[in-house]
Amino acid sequence: MKIREGELVSLIGPNGSGKSTFLKVVSGLLFPTKGKIYFLKEDITNYPVEKRIKMGIGYFLQGGEVFLNLTIYENLKMGGFGLKEKDFKNSLEEIFSLFPLLKKYLNKRAGLLSGGERQALALGIVLMRKPKLLLLDEPSAGLAPFLVKEIIEKIKMIKERFKTTILLVEQNVKEALKIATSVYLLKNGKVISEEKPENILEKRLEEIFFR
């Protein structure tokens, strides 16, 4: 699998096909039993998570993990840990321009946020370090239908505004295909093919999900 700079790649396949596992391997939470991972032409296969983060890999975990007992500001501060003050403030303003509600409720405890607000905060945390490669695992999981469209639109904005390369695993396949530049089809832990979003027909998806 190749993810080219500036792309928004959608990884689709049935439950249990290995989508989330693949993201964990790229992020460093799991190590592959074989094969190599290259990032910016460098072999990072055995690099720990923290080194990958510093290189520019950001990972949004399924469920939108946040620090529930901390405020929105404190959560974002954790996301930007180690940044210089100027860079931290710059990232903060860019996050607020993308998610204005976070600025409005800056001192609100994360545990009191709605599902949509929590997802926005979780994305904000990952974006604080302006990752070059953003791994998104089911960013719309558990959200109401109208919020799904909103979060998908925000992902499109992240790609355009931050010039971020994105690998997206999304349960709402049709919405994901609307913003993807290319698609990889995964089944039983293997890449079946790489496709253009417009070339994937419902019959093809049926074959992947139900056979």
pLDDT of residue 15: 86
pLDDT tens digits, 128-171: 999 999 999 999 888 888 888 889 999 999 999 889 999 999 98
Indicate the Cα dihedral angle 152, 153, 154, 159, nearest 10°. 90
Q: Does domain 8-210 have CATH number 3.20.20.140?
A: no
pTM equals 0.92
* Cα-based distances in Å from 92 to 57, 79, 121, 131, 163: 18, 10, 12, 14, 17
What three-state secondary structure class fits 167? Answer: strand
Length of the chain: 211
In whole angstroms, give the CA distance from residue 97 to residue 117: 15
pLDDT over threshold 90, residue 93: yes
pLDDT > 70: percent of the chain:
95
pLDDT over threshold 90, residue 21: yes
**Per-residue 3-state assignment (H helix, E strand, C coil) for 125-155:** HHHCCCCCEEEEECCCCCCCHHHHHHHHHHH
Contact partners, residue 211, CB within 8 Å, separation at least 6: none
pLDDT of residue 62: 84
pLDDT of residue 208: 65
**38 with 2: CB under 8 angstroms?**
no
In whole angstroms, give the CA distance from residue 133 to residue 57: 5
